[in-house]
Structure 1
Amino acid sequence: MSGILPEWPRSFGLPVGPARYRQHPDHFQVEEQLGFEPEGDGEHWWLFIEKANLGTLEMARRLGQLLDVELKDIGYSGLKDRMALTRQWFSIWLPGRPLPTDPATLVESAGGRLLNAGRHRRKLKRGAHRANRFYLRLEGECVMTDAFDARWEQLLDDGVPNYFGPQRFGVGGENLRRARQVMDRGWRRRDDRQGMLLSSARSFLFNEVLAERIDLGCWNQALEGDVFMLEGSHSHFASDGLDERLRQRVATLDIHPTGPLYGTGRSGTSQTAETLERDVLHRHESLAGGIERARAEAGRRALRVRVEAGRLLRDETGTWLGMTLPRGAFATAVLRELIDHPTL
């Protein structure tokens, strides 16, 4: 990890050993799972597109240029990795007119492959998808060992620290470096059109709180005053007090302690949890103050993520991992618990 970013602690100690991943786009595959289908009519064309070595924003720009549609009228649910094989939905607002060409030909001209298409009455909004399905190929001696299998099973049983992955902070942590500069002089929308710098700053503070709780051994345990998030949902609640039933729900991954997505408004925490978060944020007063002045709305994020539908398959030279993670969770956060790699 870049020197700009700290070496945040792992939950289960050192990874099993060094390994390789992202050797080829096919070795890091992401498939968006909406949880619903386009309705079949409406002014928005929804296209499910497979693409390799092509970022979400670049695909949106290409579609807009081919159709003479402004970028603001093209929707997508999440930003997917560029160095990967990805399958995700886009929407294009075409009021009162059909697509000027066959959808498959259009997508091919933009550098992708069409998997599905349909009309819908609304634009695809950010965060609309339910989950992402990952297929990851790892190579190296350690991924062929019993120790690797045991660690993988441990992650499936106990969950994984829900760190924001290194891609959130840009190559070499560049997004975070720029975020610090922008926050020091005062965040302005024109300096951060997509909001990535603001997001990097808030993600960094969340990771710092999560790291503190890992160091204290309570990232996957309930603290007095915690706010909890329901598994499989972004609904959260504050507890009036801890009892055995609440602790058991945390232990069985039914609910998860949360950390702050820092901003204006109440965090919902109290007592021990509030003190811990306040102490961490105090170490980064400049960054936190810049986020407040940008008037980002406070939110919560689960400190732990449950890995669903985990699969491990081997061939003669490597190991494939399959897993489903809720939207917003990073596969790289799972990988850094398993393997040692410079980008993790």
Structure 2
Amino acid sequence: MNALPLAFGEPLLTAAIRSVPEDFQVDEIPAFEATGEGEHLLLDIRKRNANTVAIAKQLAQWAGVPEMGVSYAGQKDRHAVTTQRFSVHLPKRVAPDLALLESDELHVLASTWHNRKLQRGALAGNRFKLVLRGVQGDKAAIEERLQIVAARGLPNWFGEQRFGRDGGNVPAALQMFAGRRVRKDQRSMLLSAARSALFNRVLAARVEQGNWDTALDGEIWMLDGSRSVFGPEPMSEVLAERLGRFDIHPSAPLWGVGELRATGAARALEDQALADEQAMALRAGLEQAGLKQERRSLRLKPSLMQHQWLADDVLEVSFALPPGCYATAVLHELGEVTDASRNEIAGVARAETEAPSAEDAAE
């Protein structure tokens, strides 16, 4: 993230995040109410310092069902305290004792029955509470920057989690496109990383030009809270008013097969940002994989944004984000925030002298 441009000026602070798992708290916002009937057991689970995939495997063992019988709406950070929903397919509606699941890393908050399997992406968003420690920087300037972000929004970056440990997913995607065979679960992860890298390139170009939240000629607009897009069409007072109240946002491509919809200046910028050798290889690989052209909003607006100083050098920031958006994008606009948990990971890796697992890379 530190290599990406900033939207609102120079970095204002240095700090550490995830000094302890409680410094990074995420609560999933469900997209629906359970029906109370059916053969899918919905479990609201709080996990600490645990991988979502590992928890899903644990649930499958507990229920005595195949791993494909357990589902979740989205993956949550490992080095954190997170609350999320899982579904377990139990056709006979007989669940083992929930107390058997309790541990230092897993606590069941609620359980209820539902008539459908929990689908990926079936969440309304996520609430975050982040604690930055060892903060160095001018408090007044930091608070002003937070107010600007709350009012104006910020660039909708794909966060570093999408790119794997040390950013290795994009090079691995290029190797896959060149013919290297990978497992099915790795393939999906690498395709997502390749798409995300291309999107971030376009967004970086627009941040550098200062037009990430304004209209270019030939713009493709995305409706807020939706994947629906429209345009291009000439800028008008109506579009300007909708842009100003965050009803619509400029967008950039999620690469795949098909013609770019943008025209004019917007199309020229996208072409230029994705014209180098690596970008062309990523584009070709995604097209060969059969992904279709889609769009993603360039702008992200946190809601319910608040902050407080817990000590002179300890800052707590809380906010909610839509699905698919990254809390690290918010931290990026403040300055250089170091992930303290990485030191722990590096120490373990050196001690074990083992390569990272696919699950670790996905985090």
TM (normalized to structure 2)? 0.88
Structure 1 residue 210 corresponds to structure 2 residue 203: yes
Q: For structure 1, list consecutive stretches of 5 or more residues without a partner in the other structure.
A: none
Hey, what does 1:123 align to over in structure 2?
Answer: 117
Hey, what does 1:309 align to over in structure 2?
Answer: 304
Hey, what does 1:332 align to over in structure 2?
Answer: 328
Residues 37, 255 of structure 1: CA spacing in aligned structure 2 closer, same or farther, 3 A cutoff? Answer: same
Hey, what does 1:235 align to over in structure 2?
Answer: 228
SS in 1 for 2:274: helix
Hey, what does 2:72 align to over in structure 1?
Answer: 76
Hey, what does 1:190 align to over in structure 2?
Answer: 183
Hey, what does 1:257 align to over in structure 2?
Answer: 250
Pairwise CA distance, 1:343: 5.2
Count of aligned positions: 337
Whether contact under 8 Å (2:73, 2:122) holds in the other structure is yes
Pairwise CA distance, 1:236: 2.2
Whether contact under 8 Å (1:189, 1:195) holds in the other structure is no
Looking at structure 2, the residues matched to 91 and 341 of structure 1 have their Cα atoms a distance apart, in angstroms, of: 35
What whole-Å deviation, never above 9, does each CA across 1:81-105 have from its counterpart, x for those lacking one?
111110000001111231122x3x1
Residues 185, 290 of structure 1: CA spacing in aligned structure 2 closer, same or farther, 3 A cutoff? Answer: same
Hey, what does 1:93 align to over in structure 2?
Answer: 89
**Partner amino acid for 2:245?**
T
Hey, what does 1:62 align to over in structure 2?
Answer: 58
Pairwise CA distance, 1:211: 0.2
Residues 94, 144 of structure 1: CA spacing in aligned structure 2 closer, same or farther, 3 A cutoff? Answer: farther
Hey, what does 1:166 align to over in structure 2?
Answer: 160
TM (normalized to structure 1)? 0.92
Looking at structure 1, the residues matched to 71 and 138 of structure 2 have their Cα atoms a distance apart, in angstroms, of: 41
Hey, what does 2:275 align to over in structure 1?
Answer: 282
Pairwise CA distance, 1:193: 4.4
**Partner amino acid for 1:221?**
T
Hey, what does 1:221 align to over in structure 2?
Answer: 214
What whole-Å deviation, never above 9, does each CA across 1:289-338 have from its counterpart, x for those lacking one?
00111111221111010010001122224121110000000000000101
Hey, what does 1:320 align to over in structure 2?
Answer: 316
What whole-Å deviation, never above 9, does each CA across 1:147-206 have from its counterpart, x for those lacking one?
1100000000110110011111011011222112112227x6735446111100100000
Looking at structure 2, the residues matched to 77 and 228 of structure 1 have their Cα atoms a distance apart, in angstroms, of: 26
Hey, what does 1:24 align to over in structure 2?
Answer: 20
Hey, what does 1:38 align to over in structure 2?
Answer: 34
SS in 2 for 1:113: strand
Hey, what does 1:295 align to over in structure 2?
Answer: 290
**Partner amino acid for 1:302?**
S
SS in 2 for 1:130: strand
SS in 2 for 1:220: coil
**Partner amino acid for 1:313?**
Q
Pairwise CA distance, 1:251: 2.9
Q: For structure 2, list consecutive stretches of 5 or more residues without a partner in the other structure.
A: 341-363
